Every structure is written in structure tokens, then in C-alpha cells.
Amino acid sequence: MAHDFELYDLRVTVTAIEGRSVCSMQVGDYFELTESSKLRIPDGKHFCVYALSAVLPLLAAKQRQLAANDWLERDSLIACPDPEERLIMKIERIQKRAMNSDDLT
């Protein structure tokens, strides 16, 4: 089977909460995006849907290798939209994965 392209698996981790934690998240909480589209949250944990909504639009781009001077290649911090919470998340690439476009929709 030929591999058409490569994508990164990602981890999004809460790195700071500068306000009050309304959604019970804690620094160190995370989720992973693997195999192109599989969202994984550790057993017994949760991830706030509003924090997730802030980071979702950036994940497809961060899965790909971008030009070195592209702002999204350099920047990896995202803020939750709740101004009371001021929750900060970091997107990290954790593994490069060979993918076949025939396996995806």
C-alpha cells in the first residue's frame, strides 16, 4: 500500500489558567488527535467543549508540515474564548504518521 502523505498526531494541553476555572479543567489536562481524526481524552477526564471549539479550526493545519515562516508553524498557543477563565492551551506535534488518502473520505 502506497502512502500518499504524512500527518502529525497532536496533543493539546492546558498550560495555564489565568482566571477562575469555570469548567473544572486543570493545568496538564489534554486531549490527543490521532490518525487524522480520532479524538482521545484520557479515561476519567473531560475537556471543555468551549475550549475545544477554540482550538478545532487550527488542528487540520497543525497536522501538516507548513512553511517555516508560516505563523501557524511557529505559534502553538490558543486561548479559550471564556474571558473569566483565560485558559491557555498548547498544540504539540507528538508523532508523524504515514497516511493513505484511499483510507480517508
Q: From the centroid of its chain, how far is CA 97?
A: 16
pLDDT digits (tens, 9 = 90+) for 59-86: 999 999 988 898 888 899 999 999 889 9
pLDDT in tens, 10-48: 999 999 999 988 889 999 999 999 998 999 999 999 999
pTM of the model: 0.90
